[in-house]
Structure 1
């Protein structure tokens, strides 16, 4: 029993010593306290400003230098936390995190008075994350975490009808936005007539669609879609006109007739073009062709013939016996052929007349002829 009693006594003393040590440590560490409350995520819209609150109190035993550090915790444990702003040695350092330079500041010009809060302006979606405020004043150390969510308000949505807007068919009304933080909510309403959606309409607030089944003319009208999230709303309008079914057979027949008319016009144009081209080609060949059987103009032949006959008649009266024979021979060469003789084939050209006998001067005188001198003439009847 004596040994057991000694063992219990030793265990009691050790327990008392440990409790005193823990109490002493807790008393020393509990001097610095962060008094800010609230653990709910902070939601702000893009472009707005936010205040991240971090109030603290000090105890007399906290005698070391004061350090305040704000950091953006990495979402991945493999990455490093980013220091956003720092207060140390009675000096503020605001250029630790480049994406926030010029946008983050301490709320108080003198943070050592118990206000370690910061203001963040011009919020961006990349500013979202978990922030940690750590206050150190030896031997006390305290920290606090808070979550910031930067949301983007919906952009101007686009409303449009999908599918054929004809009676008896399904018409889908769609509303979409290019920007906006989810969750997004869409709501449709009809702003004309009875301001009620058609009885056959089925709305999807997440996808932003309204499916009007078996649409009728009564579904025509003006519709409005409102897109919203936690930080804002935007809307668009759409006018829907449900038309009667189209006459498909008439459209097809009209299209066929139009195509045939176009083909006919093209064929006529090509035909006229070919006719004109062939005509020009024929005229060109006729102009370039040299024909040897074309007779000379009749006016020139008759003129030359009359001139020759007149010259012969005028010359007979003054013909002398000496040149009568020459005149008879030259007459057959000086004669200009008529158009019929010119066009007659060579085989039918008449033979020259027989040569008249040469008469002597005395015989010519007895016959009553008077010898004269006849000037020489060339073939066309001119006097040489």
Structure 2
């Protein structure tokens, strides 16, 4: 009897619950989704209606704000048998209902061309009075690793530590890097030390056996990319010989520069000397002889004119002009001492000139070269 009562009560409770909550969301998949950028995703939201749900059907998808102080953003809406898809500018043209007629029980949406900014919590809310139900899904859009760059850092010589790097410029953390050798024994050197977070691999005390081709793979939860590196471990160079050669090269360069400067200075000084010599007056060249002769000729002519001016025409026959010197004074000084100089012409006596009506004129004394004493 008690068992029958219990069954009746349970059945009554189920019926009351069905009457009170007729609308139900039936999707049961994972509420956490991870996708790579550029891909597409379906946010699932299936529902069922009850007979008592007689009101108009409204389906609303919104992106919940991470801060409680901010407002949620409606991204797509179905109301009055019509879909409205241009509510959210950041997703305009990239969000659509999965079904052409969501009234059939499929309120799912598709997001295309995913970007890292599309990450967030999305909520599906289905309303048909008196029933109201909602479902939340967490979407994380991850950026797959970009093609990494493989390179060595520093010289690759035997006996030295060789550092190999692998870096991917883009990619959502956590990122993981792995190294492997693709040639010879395909085994990494025994002294290799790897860092899977930074992508570096250091080979301690490298030997020639470490030479070969290596592959680095950068990966995260949504994708992976790889690059290749060819390592050649060479013998250590002769450091002393390199230093000596460098010193000798520097010295030769300095000597060559010095020779060039010396030749340039010498040529410059030679041109300067020739230019100065072209304007220089030699001290051993005697002065022009014409100046003394001209001065003496002017003095003789002046004396003759003065004497002639004091004579009258009656006594002109008494004045006999003496023969002029036919040589310049410099030639007289060069004449030997045995030859006596020619005496100056005779002058008329003062009384004779007075009787002739002449006016006495005082003539300054002159030396042999004609200058006034």
Q: When the two structures are superposed, what TM-score results if normalisation uses the length of structure 1?
A: 0.72
1:263 Cα shift?
Answer: 1.7
Separation in 1 of the partners of 2:221 and 2:276?
Answer: 90
Could you tell me whether the CA contact under 8 Å between 2:22 and 2:52 is conserved in 1? yes
Q: 1:84 to 1:354 in 2, by over 3 A?
A: same
| Residue among 271, 279, 289 paired with 1:280 | 271
| Segments of 4+ moved more than 4 angstroms | 19-25, 348-353
Check whether the contact 1:28–1:140 (CA below 8 A) recurs between aligned residues: no
CA deviations on 1:48-69 (whole Å, 9 max, x unpaired) are 1111111111001111111111
Partner of 2:326: 331
CA deviation after TM superposition for structure 1 residue 143, in Å: 0.5
2:168 pairs, out of 149, 172, 177, with 177
Q: 1:290 aligns with which of 281, 284, 303?
A: 281
In 2: Cα distance, 1:252 partner to 1:349 partner: 83
SS at match of 1:330: coil
Count, aligned residues: 305
Residue 95 of structure 1 deviates from its aligned partner by 1.4
The residue aligned with 1:66 is: 57
Tell me, in whole angstroms, the C-alpha distance in 2 between the residues paired with 1:118 and 1:182.
27
Q: Structure 2: where are the runs of 5+ without partners?
A: 1-9, 288-319, 346-373
Contact 1:29 1:141 in 2 (8 A): no
Query: Could you tell me which residue of structure 1 aligns to residue 28 of structure 2?
Result: 37
1:355 aligned partner: 342
The secondary structure found in structure 1 opposite 2:327 is helix
Question: Which residues of 2 match residues 238-249 of structure 1 at below 5 A?
Answer: 238-249=229-240
Say what the alpha-carbon RMSD is for the aligned residues: 3.0
Contact 2:31–2:136 (8 Å) recurs in 1: no
Q: Per the alignment, in what secondary structure is the counterpart of residue 198 of structure 1?
A: coil
- Provide TM-score, normalisation by structure 2: 0.74
Encode CA deviations 1:134-163: one digit per residue, 9 max, x unaligned.
Answer: 001111010011111111111110001123
- After TM superposition, the structure 1 = structure 2 runs for residues 77-88 of structure 1, keeping only pairs within 5 Å, are 77-88=68-79
Q: Distance in 2 between matches of 1:179 and 1:357?
A: 123
- Which residue does 1:75 correspond to in 2? 66
Q: Is 1:266 aligned with 2:253? A: no
Looking at structure 1, the residues matched to 21 and 158 of structure 2 have their Cα atoms a distance apart, in angstroms, of 77
2: CA distance between counterparts of 1:216 and 1:20? 81
Structure 1 residue ranges without an equivalent (≥5): 1-18, 297-322, 359-384
- Equivalent of residue 212 in structure 1, options 190, 199, 203: 203
Secondary structure class of the residue paired with 2:169? coil
1:187 equivalenced with 2:178 (yes/no): yes
Q: Is the 8 A contact 2:213 2:228 kept in 1?
A: yes
Residues 1:36 and 1:183: Cα distance change in structure 2 (over 3 Å): same
- SS in structure 1 opposite 2:28? coil
Query: Alpha-carbon deviations, 1:108-149, whole Å to 9, x = none?
Result: 121111111111111111111111100011110100111111
